[in-house]
Amino acid sequence: TMSGEEEPRSYYVGVDVGTGSVRAALVDQRGVLLAFADQPIKKWEPQFNHHEQSSEDIWAACCVVTKKVVQGIDLNQIRGLGFDATCSLVVLDKQFRPLPVNHEGDSHRNVIMWLDHRAVSQVHRINETKHSVLQYVGGVMSVEMQAPKLLWLKENLRETCWDKAGHFFDLPDFLSWKATGVTARSLCSLVCKWTYSAEKGWDDSFWKMIGLEDFVADNYNKIGNQVLPPGTSLGSGLTPEAAKELGLRPGVPVAASLIDAHAGGLGVIGADVRGHGLICEGQPVTSRLAVICGTSSCHMGISKDPIFVPGVWGPYFSAMVPGFWLNEGGQSVTGKLIDHLVQGHPAFPELQAKATARCQSIYAYLNSHLDLIKKTEPVGFLTVDLHVWPDFHGNRSPLADLTLKGMVTGLKLSQDLDDLAILYLATVQAIAFGTRFIIEAMEAAGHSISTLFLCGGLSKNPLFVQMHADITGMSVVLSQEVESVLVGAAILGACASGDFTSVQEAMARMSKVGKVVFPRLEDKKYYDKKYQVFLKLVEHQKEYSAIMSGD
Ligand SMILES: Nc1ncnc2c1ncn2[C@@H]1O[C@H](COP(=O)(O)OP(=O)(O)O)[C@@H](O)[C@H]1O
Ligand SMILES: O=C(CO)[C@H](O)[C@H](O)COP(=O)(O)O
């Protein structure tokens, strides 16, 4: 650890609830991560496109990891706690007990996960209203947002869930409630996933139009009528009960939360870039795109004035960096897609065995295997005749079309490790082409982006990072702390503690540039051609469905 500072150290705890696991970190006032712990969380898929979790299981995991990272630390030095989480929907009854979100009536499973696509018919009807709130989600509401899921609950689980429900929380807000007893919602979650406007509040006409007038009638009590900017200190901090569970002191300031992608954004986007040879050095912060890549990828771009990008979520005012508008592009499955294709390949057991024998992760093994088979050519050239369209779980941005499916062209009669490695490469490239597609849509609407700031689990994969640089032609910045999302959560805790006067100040002090990866511009021509093919794939897919739905 670093030292050399006279003043006693201040510590903040950040807790990040991802799709597959909960992580916690102990972070100091300079953004240095001193301790890290993670713990898997349960997931259920009771039927295709239904994904559920348990808020009690998630909270228990938060307690385990928090206790671990504060072990051996003087608890008086812990000055703040911040949470971020996926934007899943938590349902509790009037006494704050879990309610089932499933036909089985299993109340343990009281969370509809963000990637759940059960509410297809509901979102279709919501989009048909053409209500003006839809302008602020890229023109089309996503099936992954909360309004369609709420409508699904009302239409499908009236007695067992809807009528008994007292509180619908976005997962980040559930966590801050659990810690403090305060039911106030974060501006981040409500603006991004619930159609709340930072300027105008709730729009009664929207909820009435879609058939959820219930919320208007009780003054939005169940979904939030007190809304606070992320980082605001909640109530009197940690309750004695929560403090005991988390292994912290009662009264520690707890911040209004952020969605995980937004915490990642705070963890990377404000870094001081001087001296790294980056073009964004002389440019405003709006030239930076934070890309948070885990189970999904989220592309966070900010602007001074609202920018309406068709198919890209937002513009959301103050939902990430206060005072700035945010556009959020995304790909619903990226890490999950890579895992899916690699694990489903016949050569996967062989890969696992070989990686284990070398004490490597399967991805480190695949990357070195690709280096072996590429011979003298750049590794990316191995996919000259293998192309992937990555929307296995629909397209979030910029097409906003949940009916799209994945495509692979160039298959051969081979099942060996080479075949697996090249399919993996083509998938990583397809995800990077998806990022390029999103950036082009954002730029066409008025963004001016020059540099990518990557974080999340996939940013630990050097091939994923290099392909993003090569395919977008932009430099990629990686943070000093790999766990940038947790630094973002700790920034929230630091803001709640009052140690910093603003989120911007905390960001500038706590997020730091680590490594910079420059694009191989000499390969540009090749990737431009592959990008042409990429765009053709989706064009063709649409033609296929038109043929099949014709007479
Ligand atoms: N060391 C690694 N090398 C390559 N890929 C990794 C590594 N660690 C995680 N990943 C990828 O990152 C994804 C998970 O990222 P993570 O940020 O942990 O997800 P989430 O926040 O959604 O729980 C996995 O799907 C996996 O493909
Ligand atoms: O919609 C999102 C952010 O607005 C994310 O996709 C969602 O929160 C899941 O995140 P992750 O892939 O990190 O688990």
* Chain segment 463-479, per-residue pLDDT in tens: 999 999 999 999 999 99
Q: pLDDT category, 9, cuts 50, 70, 90?
A: confident
φ, ψ of residue 460 in degrees (nearest 5):
-80, -10
Contact of 117 with 48, CB cutoff 8 Å? no
Tell which residue, 137, 40, 56, 117, has the closest CA to residue 90.
56
In angstroms, the CA 351 to CA 332 distance is 26
Which residues lie closer than 8 Å to 210 by C-beta, 6 or more apart? Answer: 125, 126, 129, 131, 147, 151
| Residue 9 Cα distances to 76, 97, 252, 491, angstroms | 10, 39, 16, 15
Enumerate residues 6+ apart whose C-beta is below 8 A from 398: 138, 309, 310, 311, 312, 329, 437, 438, 440, 441, 442
pLDDT tens-place string over residues 258-304: 999 999 999 999 999 999 999 999 999 999 999 999 999 999 999 99
* CB-ligand 2 contact for 296 (6 Å cutoff): yes
pLDDT band at 505 (very low <50, low <70, confident <90, very high): very high
Residue minimizing CA distance to atom 18 of ligand 1: 457
Tell me what pLDDT residue 7 has: 62
For ligand 2, is residue 18 a contact (CB within 6 Å)?
A: yes
Please report the pLDDT score of residue 1 as a whole number. Answer: 45
Residue nearest to ligand 1 atom 3, measured at CA: 461
Q: Comparing C-alpha atoms, which of 131, 208, 172, 191 is closest to residue 14?
A: 172
Which residue's CA lies nearest to atom 7 of ligand 2?
86
Can you tell me the ipTM of this complex? 0.98
Pocket test for ligand 1, best of 65, 368, 461, 483 (most atoms within 8 A of CB): 461
CA distance 494 to 189: 20
Q: What residues does each domain of the chain span? A: 11-246
Kindly report, residue by residue over 101-152, the tens digit of the pLDDT: 999 999 999 999 999 999 999 999 999 999 999 999 999 999 999 999 999 9
Q: Residue range 440-448: average pLDDT?
A: 98
Is 118 within 8 Å of 49 (Cβ atoms)? Answer: yes
Buried b (16+ CB within 10 A) or exposed e, 213-249: ebbeeeebebbbeebbbbbbbbbebbbeebbebbbbe
The predicted model scores a pTM of 0.97
Q: Which two tokens stand for residue 10?
A: 């201040």
Q: Is the pLDDT of residue 8 over 80?
A: no
Q: Rounded to an integer, what distance in angstroms lies between the CA atom of residue 491 and that of residue 507?
A: 7
Q: Is 374 exposed, middle or buried (0-12, 13-18, 19+ CB in 10 A)?
A: middle
Comparing CA positions, the residue from 147, 144, 36, 152 lying closest to residue 103 is 152
CA–CA dist 396, 453 (Å, integer)? 20
Residue type, 80: G
- Ligand 2, atom 13: nearest CA belongs to which residue? 294
CA 18 to ligand 2 center in whole angstroms: 8
Structure-token pair, residue 444: 């066409």
Distance from the CA of 172 to the center of ligand 2, in angstroms? 12
Give per-residue pLDDT as tens, 26-47. Answer: 999 999 999 999 999 999 999 9
Query: What's residue 551's pLDDT?
Result: 86
Res. 85: pLDDT tops 60? yes
Distance CA 382, CA 308 (A): 38
CB-side exposure of 312: number of CA atoms within 13 Å?
31
pLDDT digits (tens, 9 = 90+) for 291-311: 999 999 999 999 999 999 999
Does residue 260's CB lie within 6 angstroms of at least one atom of ligand 2? yes
11-246: CATH number: 3.30.420.40
Query: What is the rounded CA–CA span in Å between residue 544 and residue 550?
Result: 10
| Alpha-carbon span 252 to 180, nearest angstrom | 10
Residues 163-182: what's their mean pLDDT? 98
- Cβ–ligand 1 contact at 31 (below 6 Å): no
Long-range contacts, 337-342 (Cβ 8 Å, 24+): 337/390, 337/392, 337/393, 337/406, 337/427, 337/431, 338/363, 338/424, 338/427, 338/428, 338/431, 338/458, 340/392, 341/423, 341/424, 341/427, 342/366, 342/420, 342/423, 342/424
86 lines ligand 2 (CB under 6 A): yes
Residue 65: exposure state from Cβ atoms within 10 A (0-12, 13-18, ≥19):
buried
Computed over every residue of the chain, the mean pLDDT equals 97
On whether the CB atoms of residues 280 and 450 are closer than 8 A, the answer is: yes
pLDDT at 4 over 80: no
Which of 119, 111, 132, 126 has the alpha carbon at shortest distance from 55?
111
Summarised one tens digit per residue, pLDDT across range 369-400 is 999 999 999 999 999 999 999 999 999 999 99
Q: Which ligand is nearest to the CA of 336?
A: 1
Q: Contact at 8 Å (CB) between 313 and 191?
A: no
Centre of ligand 2 from the C-alpha of residue 367, in Å: 26
